[in-house]
Amino acid sequence: MSSASRIRNELEKLKSALRSVNYELDSLNDEELTHGEPQPLLRLLHFVLLRYSAPLARFVSEQGYSELIGASDFKFIGAVYKCSRELFGHNPALSVTQFFSKGFVERKLVFVAHFVRFCKSKSDELEPGKNRKVNVPSRVFGAKPTHASAASTGVASAPERSSTPPLAVK
């Protein structure tokens, strides 16, 4: 696989991770990202750590990473790396200096995508039940109406019995 196709692949993985945290992908500049520009990556890291989830931001601050707010870019990324190592057990594959230099595109994209996923996972842990999609049966796909849909039509229905045990929710 060529370098360009690996970079495109990593960019798609990053976009997928960003979708999971409800990041507005229209604001991404693919050209900047595929050239390894640090500024768009810094914006993504800032969003996921400080704006995506209030409980996550509070948790990170309570763990002693309050220097993330108002820090210079260099200090911010240093704190992000420290957070990645200490809170998530992930050692970045590039140095802070490499993060700010040209090149290392694939490594930068991989790191940010992993970090977004770590933050999403921690946020879900801190807010169980929130940010989770609920599957609602639909008549369009042949599902039988549930209590909720029966209530909306005014027709009562008995609960369905299933031979499979219910799934435990963590």
Q: What pLDDT sits at residue 99? A: 96
d(CA 18, CA 138): 28
Is pLDDT at 126 greater than 50 in this prediction?
yes
d(CA 153, CA 149): 7
pLDDT band, residue 129 (cuts 50/70/90): confident
pTM assigned to the model = 0.73
